[in-house]
Structure 1
């Protein structure tokens, strides 16, 4: 990669290895379905079947997102017979989500209107896709 002004091409800081874990954490929280699953699990453990019914998501979607959250260490499974009951692994996650809610309340629509992180629901594509077209 080509360095430019202390960054790797693409704007990645040289000392990004220090940020990798934080990037992975926030990436794991960057999907609406995963956030919905985490919010539901904040109320107590649930099976994939429970999440499907309560969140109105497809089984494959829920299973994939639960697997992602498990791989990130945010969710754990407790087998009971043929069922697995999922729960949050760390209570600090609730604090992080509460802090995010507080920040969103304080900033209003500023985050939602950020041109670098447009939501698909608003534009039909991401800002990255727009930049690629240019």
Structure 2
């Protein structure tokens, strides 16, 4: 699956999404986050790459919230993401809930990996930050 750990940027799709964000104009970056998350929410069956991009987008939103973890400089975007509002935070919470459902290929792959608990804990930490609960 092109994944090396449970972090939101520890996979090929998120690393590619980071490059896309870096190549976009500063004013377009927040819209790219929104688009990745909305695409994931609109999918019937959520494919792994779309889910990984959406989780990366949610992690970038969470990084701006109190208690949010900084983005991994090795695989995350290098260019700054403009400040986003609560609307994207609410969207990010919905995305993190969506990727944990059975209709998501990413959830299936983590269930088969033996590392599902660690992955779900990571999603839960991001969700808590987005909801104002800190780390």
* TM-score when normalising by structure 1: 0.29
Larger radius of gyration, structure 1 or 2? Answer: 1
Relative to its length, the structure with more strand (as a share) is 1
Relative to its length, the structure with more helix (as a share) is 2
- Which structure has more RCO (C-alpha within 8 Å, separation ≥ 6)? 2
